[in-house]
Amino acid sequence: MPVHRPGPIRPRRLFLVALLLTAFSLLHPAAVSAAEVPETPEATATPARGSAHMGMGVVAHDGQEGLPAGTRATQAEGVDVASYQGNVSWSTLWNSGVRWAYTKASEGTYYRNPYFSQQYTGSYDVGMIRGAYHFATPDTSSGATQADYFVDSGGGWYGDGRTLPGTLDIEWNPYGDACFGKSQSAMVTWIRDFLNRYKARTGRHAVIYTATNWWSQCTGNYGGFSANPLWIARYASTAGTLPAGWSTYTMWQYTSSGPTVGDHDRFNGALDRVQALAAG
């Protein structure tokens, strides 16, 4: 008995199959492969650990409105940098009038900036007064432990007249809950532990970098750290209302879209005041 072998599928049959598949996908969208669905912004919103940097949450939470008036003669211009900016053109910044800089040294107890040497030493080599900062993650380890990690990662202080005291960058958590899952009193305790250990290790009061809205939300607008210089984050024409305890700021991050390096800052005083802070 001869065996019947099917012939090629006719174009009409192919058309019908395609039509049925299209109708099925419209009626049952869940059956479409996830690989065919483009990712939404929410799906990629959480950055990789270690990638945090000063002010990365400011625009989202506080907005951005205008630039400050005044000149660099009365408020010395500075910048802050992190690994995402790579090798920085320090000579370009120097020629543009920037005279001081901070480099991210560490985050939590799990990250050291791989560009730290080029950024920290490079700014110094062109004549700038430089310092280092630590991005705090109070949900991963204690304040004292992170202060030790920071100092051991290059965040110490040297009495050479051109090294600024280290900065604690404490702001919105880019990896989760804005206050890192801590109550206001627990956050104050964590910050105090960091500051006390840094002072014990270096002999200097660390600078506190923060935004007023975050400070109010996550510390209850605690006013007990006035001995520490304040670095306020606000992208506007004025520094605005300051957190409790400080009547004035020492530094002000006023934009994330400046020339050469986006994050630009002003010191509350001319270059001689920057030199005085470095000298201790």
Distance CA 273, CA 17 (A): 77
From the list 148, 169, 263, 265, the catalytic residue is: 169
Q: What is the DSSP letter of 87?
A: S
Q: Let me know if 169 is a catalytic residue.
A: yes
Token pair for residue 239?
């520094």
Tell me the two tokens of residue 228. Answer: 């520490």
| Residue 36 a catalytic site member | no
Q: Which of 176, 58, 185 is nearest to 108 (CA)?
A: 176
User: Which listed residue (148, 171, 263, 265) is catalytic?
Assistant: 171
Q: How many residues does the chain have?
A: 280
Report helix, strand or coil for 91: helix
- Among 80, 107, 263, 265, the one annotated catalytic: 80
- 42 included as an active-site residue: no
List, in order, residues 6 or more apart from 218 with CB less than 8 Å away.
178, 179, 180, 182, 184, 187
Q: Which residues are catalytic?
A: 80, 169, 171
